[in-house]
Amino acid sequence: MKFKLDENFGTRAQNLFRNAGHEVETVRNEGFKGCSDYYLYELCCTEQRCLVTLDLDFSDITRFPPDKAGGIVVIRVPRNPSLPLLEQLIRQFLQSLAQMSVKKRLWIVEIGRIRIHQSETEE
């Protein structure tokens, strides 16, 4: 699957995705650090990449419909999370991909659970 990691993810997170067999780009490596949320969303729609972010604004499906992009994953962490916790949540997400696709869906990844928003057009 194709992913784009928001600017708050570094090389270690990128490697977790690559080691799981996914194609991954980062906002930072592509030179889009500081771009608007809307611009980032449009990039993901054009490239059909699933956006992975810590930015809760992307959980607003009226502003950022996940069915137009390759999917949206919002990882919810407590304030000032540790790197091991962030990596644990990424692994939790990647393991869940084996059971269900995130394509055109919004996934909210939290400690111990994943909430999935499905569009009304899905069966």
> What are the tens digits of pLDDT across the range 73-111?
999 988 877 888 999 999 999 999 989 999 999 999 999
HEC per residue, the chain: CEEEECCCCCHHHHHHHHHCCCEEEECCCCCCCCCCHHHHHHHHHHHCCEEEECCHHHHCCCCCCHHHCCCEEEECCCCCCCHHHHHHHHHHHHHHCCCCCCCCCEEEEECCEEEEECCCCCC
State the angle between helix axes of 11-19 and 83-96 in degrees (0 to 180), rounded to the nearest 10. Answer: 20
Place of tokens 């991909």: 97
pLDDT exceeds cutoff 70 at 121: no
pLDDT exceeds cutoff 60 at 45: yes
Predicted pLDDT of residue 35: 93
Predicted pLDDT of residue 8: 87
Which residues are 114's β-sheet partners?
Answer: 109
Instruction: Say if CB 104 and CB 64 are below 8 A apart.
Output: no
Task: Delimit the domains of the chain by residue range.
Answer: 2-117
Share of the chain above pLDDT 70, in %: 96
Predicted pLDDT of residue 69: 87
Q: How many other C-beta atoms lie within 10 A of the C-beta of residue 117?
A: 13
pLDDT, tens digit, 9 for 90 and up, residues 18-37: 999 999 999 998 989 999 99
Predicted pLDDT of residue 123: 44
